[in-house]
Amino acid sequence: MKLQAVKGTHDILPADQAPWRNVHDAARTVLERAGAGRITTPVFEYAEVFEKSVGESADLVVQKEMYTFEDRGGRLLTLRPEFTAGVMRAFIENGMHTWPMPVKLWSDGPLFRAENVQRGRYRQFHQVNFEILGLGQAVTDAEAVALLYRTLEACGLTRHRIRLGSVGDPTDRAAYNAYLREALTPVAEDLSETSRERLRLNPMRVLDSKDARDQELIRTLKRPLDLLGDDARAHFEAVQRHLRSWGVPFDIDPAIVRGLDYYRRTAFEAHYEGIGAQSALGGGGRYDGLIENLGGPAMPGVGWAFGTERVLDAMAQEDGGAAEASGPLLFLVPLDDEAVDEVSALAHRLRERFAVSFAYQRRNPGKGLKEADRAGAAYAGLLGASERALGALRVKHLASGEQLEIGLAQLAEFLEGRQAAL
C-alpha cells in the first residue's frame, strides 16, 4: 500500500519554505508596527466554541464543513475552521477584555474545513488573521482595511484590490433579509439547493452564490448598500474618507455580504485576478455580539483573514514570481581527512553570523564543487594540504568561477562583504 497525504492537504517542502516565511514576516512587520500582538491558540477547541460563535442562523454548509470528533473522555472537539472564535475564547478566558482598548491581535497557522477540494480550496489550509477589539469608530474599520491592503503589499503583491461594502446595522440587515425573502421566495424553485437553504436561514448569503442561474436572479435585486440607514451610511462614508486620506485604494462593492449574523456595517474583501475561480484572497468586517455569544461582555470588533495558499498563488503571478529559496553563503569542502575536523569547526564558528554548510567526508575538488553547487551555495571553500600550509582557504565563486586565496583570519570579513553584495 502506498501511503499518501490526506486529500486536500499538502506538504510544504524545504524549497517552498521561503515564500511561506515571507508571508509570515510581512504580516508580522506590518501588523506589529501597527501595535498588534501575536496570539497563538490551540489547533482544536471544544466544539461549543465554534457552535456558539456561528449562532443559529449559520448555514448548514458552515456546520458541515467542521471536523468534529469525540475525544476519549467523550467531549466533542473541533479542529478550528477559522481563527476568530478561538481568539475570542482566549481573549475572554485571559481577561483581555479588561485591558485598555483597543486590543489588537494577529495570528497565523493551519485551519481545517471538510470542503470540496479544488484550486484554492483545501481541507487543511493556512490563514493570517487580524482583529481590533473594543472600539466601534469608523477609523478602526478603516485601519483594519488599510492593514489588510498593506500586509498583502508587503507580501510582494501589486495587483490586489479591496472591495468595500456595508451590511448596515441590525435593523437594516433585518429589513434587507425581509426584502430578499419576499423577492426570492416566489422563485425559490429556480434557486440552487444551497441558495434555497440560505434563503431559509440567512437570506443575505444567497448573494455569495457562484451558481450561474442564481446569479441571474440576483442581478435583478437591490443590494445591501441600497437599504442602509442613516447611521450606517455615515459610518460607511467615514471609513471611505479615512482610506482616501491614507492613500489606500478600494472599489465600492454594493453586493458584499458576510455570512454570519453578528456582522454589521463594514464588510470587505481582497481579490486578485488570475488565480482561478477562487479570486478572494481574504475578507473581513465589523462584528457585534460575537464576544457576548462566547460568554464575554458586549464589545465590538473588526477583523479580517486572508488565505496564505491563495496569496502564494497570487505572488507566483507577479513579475519575478515568488521569492527563490536560497542556499548557504559558503560550502566548505575538506580535501583530506584532517580537514574534516578543521572545516567542521570553522563552519560552526562562522554560523554565528553566516549560512555555512560543509561536506561530511573528504572530497576531491571536482566532487566537492559539485556538492557545493547542488546545495545552492554562493561560494565553495576548499581546504587541503597546500591551503593548510598557507593558513588559507581556496574560495571559489560558483556562478562566475572566480577563485581567491583567503586567509583564515580574513574569512569573516570577506564573507561580510560578499553577503552584503548578494
Q: The C-alpha cell of 383 is what?
A: 581546504
Least distance in Å: CB of 169 to ligand AMP? 21
Residue closer to ligand AMP by CB (options 198, 310) is 310
CA angle 117, 119, 120 (to 5 degrees): 90
Quickly count: other Cβ atoms within 10 Å of residue 415's Cβ. 22
Place of cell 481545517: 112
Which span (114-122, 172-180, 290-298, 313-321) binds ligand AMP, by CB under 6 A? 114-122
Residue closer to ligand AMP by CB (options 280, 398) is 280
Which span (19-27, 143-151, 246-254, 274-282) binds ligand AMP, by CB under 6 A? 274-282
Phi/psi for 126 (5° steps) reads -130, 150
* Site for ligand AMP contains 167 (CB under 6 A): no
Which span (144-152, 187-195, 307-315, 347-355) binds ligand AMP, by CB under 6 A? 307-315
Instruction: State the Rg of the chain over Cα.
Output: 27
Least distance in Å: CB of 283 to ligand AMP? 5
* Site for ligand AMP contains 221 (CB under 6 A): no
CA dihedral 23, 26, 29, 31 (to 10 degrees): -80
* Site for ligand AMP contains 285 (CB under 6 A): no
Strands of the sheet containing 251-252, edge to edge, are: 37-38, 103-112, 124-133, 301-307, 280-287, 263-271, 161-166, 251-252
Residue closer to ligand AMP by CB (options 11, 337) is 11
Among residues 142, 248, 281, 346, the one that binds ligand AMP under rule CB under 6 A: 281
User: Which 125-154 residues touch ligand AMP, going by CB under 6 A?
Assistant: 125, 127
Sequence-ordered list of residues with C-beta below 8 angstroms from that of 56, at least 6 positions apart, any chain:
none
Least distance in Å: CB of 188 to ligand AMP? 25
The helix (H) or strand (E) run that includes residue 104 is strand 103-112
Among residues 225, 305, 312, 377, the one that binds ligand AMP under rule CB under 6 A: 305
Count Cα atoms within 13 angstroms, Cβ side, for 37. 9
Q: Which residues bind ligand AMP (CB under 6 A)?
A: 82, 113, 115, 120-122, 125, 127, 280-283, 305-307, 309-310
